[in-house]
Chains A and B, each alone.
Chain A
Amino acid sequence: MSGALVWKDQARIDSGKPAAHAIVIGVGEYPYLVGGNGPLTDKNGGLQQLSSPPESAFRFARWLLDEFNNPGIPLASLSLLVSGSQARAFEHPRLLEPVTPAAADSARAVAALRAWKALGDSSEENLVLFYFCGHGVARGLEGLSLLLRDYGEEPDMPMEGAIDFAAFQRGMAQCAASYQCFFVDACRQVSDIARNTSESGRKVIQDDINRPFESDWNYAVLFATVEGKSAYGRRDKPSFYAEELIRGLNGTAANNRNADGEWRVSTGDLNASIHRGLSLRGKKIKNPAVRLVEFEFHVLRRAPMVPVTVFCEPRSDTALAELSCASNGTVVDRRDPAPDDWRTELPFGIYDFQARIDSRTGRRVGEMVLPPYRELKIQVSP
């Protein structure tokens, strides 16, 4: 194992059969931005240190090893680059021993991305997964630079510490893998540090949208959609985007539309699910000009978890009601009286809901609970 690669299934890689290859990058430490321990670059744009990206990267990397499931295209490698305020080992039962991820600086990131692309090149049926969490700065319609740990290290060329994401993503047309997912967990506000220069970051793969393969280039870029502070969530916790991404993959974006009844996640449903989840977290960034190929890439290992919200009508009764949920006559979840709506998660299925205020009750019987979410209003009898 070398560089950023933290896990691989060598047998699958050697077999030449289709496989999935993932790269996960989390950048929280920016020595040359506000609050960093290096000299502050004058092209800082007010950007500060972040605590969410390392947590987000670790969380998504764990999800990949635990939950990602595509029977025809199983996960065969995971690369991880993380920079946080403190070095941390990445532990997982599928790793022989804890590993300290490679630092998420530009030299290592570019090398890791090229190695990841090379893994993807082994088959046109491959799937490649890219996840980045950190600062991003946008420039009009096309420019998006993802800032790495060493952004600003070179005073005369701060963007040497960034990746030109737009060009990199276009360049991925040169990768044989015909299924490509890009999860970009980064603020994309237009910033003068991007707009006042023609520099947009390091080039990873030569920008050429002419694809030299017979297969279609099926790609989906799923951007974070909440602006500013809201995009990242709480200190030392995964970003809201990471939470919604994983929530979507675990169920809110799942569909059982195929005849076999399996729960699958497609890029389109996942994008809508992330938007929906993030819209509750802050002011949304709209992104109408995005392009997204619809394809299914993940099959759930278990029944999807469905967010459920229960409240009483009139709403004032919610504060007085004991709320419960039963499956086949057995109570599986309950909540004592509380003023806010009851928000819980239940496995997909059919449930009976009840609200009880003293001797008065209200019921919703045989309610179908299925993705993306369910809201239930209960009237308690007078």
Chain B
Amino acid sequence: MSVSMAARALLYHKRADAGLVGSVYREDADKGVVFVDRVTVPMVDWGSERADHIRALDGAASGRYLLQLALPDGRIVTENFEIVADKNTEVVVRVPHEGPAEWTSLHAMTGEITAAVPMPSPAPTPAKGARRRGAGGPAREFAASAVPDYAHLRADPEHGFEMRFLAPHADTLGASPLAPGALPMLAALIRADLPVDEAEEALGGGIEIATPVQEEADYALFELVHAGSLGDGAARGRFNFGPGSDLARVYLLAKSAHGASLVCLPAPWTREGEEIEIELLLDKSVRDGPPGYALTIGDPMINTALGYINNGALHEAARLIGFETARDLLFHKISSPLAAAIGGYLLVLGLDRSAYRARSADWKNWVDNLAHWFEWLPDGAILRASLYFVLGDKDRDGAYDALMKACNRGLPFFTFGLRLMLEGLRRFANEGDAEAAQRLAMLEPIAQACDPSRNFLCVDIARRWQGAAAAQEVVAGHV
């Protein structure tokens, strides 16, 4: 007797071995309903037949059960099932797609957009390699809209929206505020309060992102990789990350009526060496506030983790990317360092000291490698330092060195990382360390300009256009 489970969603050929987390309950004659165990289930496409064996339910007694699964948007889906002696049980939960178009499925899953559409009947799985282009499937019929297309928005970013891809060249990197070790320059740039065009020039201008891969009505979807925008002809790369591997970082500059923001683009996002696209969904209908865009990764497991984090379910995210998963992401023959960093952050943000103490040697070895192998990744060094000031590791000097190294590597990829970097510097500054105090003061304008609502670090670089006053931030009236 075994129990297998799967969550099926609109994913096309994407899948996640660890897709959603949940709990199983059993009907009990005496106690009513009793908790049985927590489970992690795979998430596959609607057309897939796959369901994975759930070891947590091996030996479960016959009876009626309830599966509760936590969706990335914070909702719960439930499914009744029955376990009968000597019979295998398969439990399949369908994750509804409620986005405005099929190509918004990942963002819709995390609640970034919520245009309701009827639940479609299962669609046949497209052939391997097919892209989710064009009509068909469960896409909503779009009403005629007055929202301009992206081409119009980018033609006048002061009143619209434009994105530029920043990939500082090695020969000019030394003079760039985006160079490793140039955080003081970046802080000075923010403090200078330059208009958008001057700030853009100081960052090197970059390449315009001109073509979304999908666009309809209120939304436009961009797919970004380390080489640029797939819509503009860039291609996915292959990255054999291992110890000592090098990388030139890339960024995004988002310009709008609100000014200009620098986004630390988590590229290349890799899984076993293959590059996975970063999905940027632009809500074109947002015109009078900060630009309405959301970033996620075209990997359902990471998408779920980011959704859990955004919805306050930090510990569910930590269950999804536990130590085994994090270890595999780093120690696989070809590492996935950015995905691995999320696993590290979830340990630290969840402050699960018991989880850390239970296998502190393993974690420390893991974090040490993340910190040492990738010179371009400040987040690994931040995590190494965090073991000391968050999780009670005793290596104070190692933590200090790691933190200074992190500062020298540049902006963290993740907002959590900047917060931890500040916390660590404050810790050492409180001990009277002048270097830490100086760096803390240096980072202050960057922290103030940071958008705390985003997972991937986003910093306001300019708040005004030439000849215009900075947009006033007025808090809406309350009841």
Q: Does A291 contact B (CB under 8 A)?
A: yes
When C-beta atoms are compared, the residue in chain B nearest to A294 turns out to be: B315
Which among A48, A142, A286, A292 is the interface contact of B349 at CB below 8 angstroms?
A292
Which residues 136-158 of A sit at the B interface, judged by CB distance below 8 A?
137-143
Contacts of B74 in A (CB 8 A): 272, 275-276, 279
Contacts of B68 in A (CB 8 A): 370
Q: Whole-angstrom distance between the alpha carbons of A187 and B479 in the complex?
A: 12
Contacts of A189 in B (CB 8 A): 473, 475-476
**Is B35's CB under 8 angstroms from A235's CB?**
no
Contacts of B73 in A (CB 8 A): 279
Q: Whole-angstrom distance between the alpha carbons of A334 and B445 in the complex?
A: 58
Q: Does A1 contact B (CB under 8 A)?
A: no
Q: Majority SS of interface residues in chain B?
A: mixed
**Is A368's CB under 8 angstroms from B453's CB?**
no
Which among A48, A216, A275 is the interface contact of B478 at CB below 8 angstroms?
A48
Minimum CB–CB distance from B399 to chain A (whole Å) comes to 13
Q: Does B269 contact A (CB under 8 A)?
A: no
Minimum CB–CB distance from A365 to chain B (whole Å) comes to 10
**Is A275's CB under 8 angstroms from B33's CB?**
no
Most chain-A CB neighbours within 10 Å: which of B348, B477, B479? B479
**Is B350's CB under 8 angstroms from A294's CB?**
yes
Q: Does A287 contact B (CB under 8 A)?
A: yes
**Is A141's CB under 8 angstroms from B479's CB?**
no
Contacts known (A209-B426, A276-B311); A229 close to B476, Cβ less than 8 A: yes
Contacts of A170 in B (CB 8 A): 426
Q: Whole-angstrom distance between the alpha carbons of A170 and B425 in the complex?
A: 14
Name which of A63-71, A86-94, A107-115, A255-263 contacts chain B: A255-263
Minimum CB–CB distance from A173 to chain B (whole Å) comes to 10
Which among B348, B454, B472 is the interface contact of A288 at CB below 8 angstroms?
B454
When C-beta atoms are compared, the residue in chain B nearest to A216 turns out to be: B353
Q: Whole-angstrom distance between the alpha carbons of A187 and B454 in the complex?
A: 17
**Is A272's CB under 8 angstroms from B311's CB?**
yes
Contacts known (A192-B473, A232-B479, A268-B315); A374 close to B310, Cβ less than 8 A: no
**Is B452's CB under 8 angstroms from A140's CB?**
yes
Minimum CB–CB distance from A47 to chain B (whole Å) comes to 6
Contacts known (A271-B314, A348-B33, A370-B25); A209 close to B430, Cβ less than 8 A: yes
Q: Does A293 contact B (CB under 8 A)?
A: yes
Contacts of A272 in B (CB 8 A): 70, 74, 311-313, 316
When C-beta atoms are compared, the residue in chain A nearest to B315 turns out to be: A268
Q: Does A72 contact B (CB under 8 A)?
A: no
**Is B448's CB under 8 angstroms from A286's CB?**
no
Minimum CB–CB distance from A244 to chain B (whole Å) comes to 11
When C-beta atoms are compared, the residue in chain A nearest to B389 turns out to be: A209
When C-beta atoms are compared, the residue in chain B nearest to A209 turns out to be: B427
Which residues 316-350 of A sit at the B interface, judged by CB distance below 8 A?
348-350
Name which of B124-132, B175-183, B415-423 contacts chain A: B415-423
Contacts of B479 in A (CB 8 A): 50-52, 229, 232-235
Q: Does A31 contact B (CB under 8 A)?
A: no
Minimum CB–CB distance from A96 to chain B (whole Å) comes to 34
Q: Does A231 contact B (CB under 8 A)?
A: yes
**Is A231's CB under 8 angstroms from B415's CB?**
no
Q: Does B394 contact A (CB under 8 A)?
A: no
Render B463-479 as a binary contact track against A, CB cut-off 8 A, 1 for contact. 00000000011111111
Q: Whole-angstrom distance between the alpha carbons of A290 and B70 in the complex?
A: 20
When C-beta atoms are compared, the residue in chain B nearest to A257 turns out to be: B35
Q: Does B248 contact A (CB under 8 A)?
A: no
Q: Does A2 contact B (CB under 8 A)?
A: no
**Is A141's CB under 8 angstroms from B476's CB?**
no
Which among A208, A276, A372 is the interface contact of B430 at CB below 8 angstroms?
A208
- Classify chain B: how many residues form its interface, as a range: 35 or more
Which among B33, B312, B450, B478 is the interface contact of A370 at CB below 8 angstroms?
B33
Contacts of B350 in A (CB 8 A): 268, 291-294
When C-beta atoms are compared, the residue in chain B nearest to A225 turns out to be: B312
Most chain-A CB neighbours within 10 Å: which of B32, B73, B419, B449? B32
Q: Does B309 contact A (CB under 8 A)?
A: yes
Contacts of A195 in B (CB 8 A): 448, 473
Contacts of B423 in A (CB 8 A): 209
**Is B474's CB under 8 angstroms from A191's CB?**
yes
**Is A256's CB under 8 angstroms from B453's CB?**
no
**Is A228's CB under 8 angstroms from B78's CB?**
no
Q: Whole-angstrom distance between the alpha carbons of A216 and B316 in the complex?
A: 22
Contacts of A137 in B (CB 8 A): 475
Which among A34, A191, A292, A373 is the interface contact of B351 at CB below 8 angstroms?
A292
When C-beta atoms are compared, the residue in chain B nearest to A235 turns out to be: B479
Q: Does A274 contact B (CB under 8 A)?
A: yes
Which among A138, A187, A209, A348 is the interface contact of B452 at CB below 8 angstroms?
A138
Render A286-309 as a binary contact track against B, CB cut-off 8 A, 1 for contact. 111111111000000000000000
Contacts of B80 in A (CB 8 A): 367-368
**Is A45's CB under 8 angstroms from B452's CB?**
no
Q: Whole-angstrom distance between the alpha carbons of A142 and B450 in the complex?
A: 9
Contacts of B431 in A (CB 8 A): 210
**Is B449's CB under 8 angstroms from A368's CB?**
no
Q: Does B111 contact A (CB under 8 A)?
A: yes
**Is B473's CB under 8 angstroms from A190's CB?**
yes
**Is B477's CB under 8 angstroms from A46's CB?**
yes
When C-beta atoms are compared, the residue in chain A nearest to B294 turns out to be: A286
Contacts known (A286-B453, A375-B78); A141 close to B415, Cβ less than 8 A: yes
Contacts known (A140-B449, A268-B314); A187 close to B478, Cβ less than 8 A: yes
Q: Whole-angstrom distance between the alpha carbons of A375 and B25 in the complex?
A: 16
**Is A141's CB under 8 angstroms from B447's CB?**
yes
Q: Whole-angstrom distance between the alpha carbons of A344 and B412 in the complex?
A: 46
**Is A216's CB under 8 angstroms from B392's CB?**
yes
When C-beta atoms are compared, the residue in chain A nearest to B449 turns out to be: A140
Contacts known (A192-B472, A228-B475); A256 close to B309, Cβ less than 8 A: no
Task: Report, nearest first, the 5 A-B pairs whose CB atoms are least far apart.
Answer: A228-B476, A275-B312, A140-B448, A46-B474, A141-B450
Q: Other than A170-B426, A207-B430, give 14 A-B pairs with Cβ distance below 8 A.
A: A45-B474, A48-B478, A142-B422, A192-B472, A225-B312, A268-B315, A272-B70, A279-B111, A284-B111, A286-B310, A288-B416, A292-B349, A366-B27, A368-B25
Q: Mind listing 20 A-B residue pairs with CB under 8 Å?
A: A138-B452, A141-B448, A142-B422, A187-B478, A192-B474, A210-B430, A216-B353, A229-B477, A276-B312, A279-B111, A288-B415, A290-B312, A291-B349, A292-B350, A348-B32, A368-B64, A368-B66, A370-B68, A372-B76, A373-B76
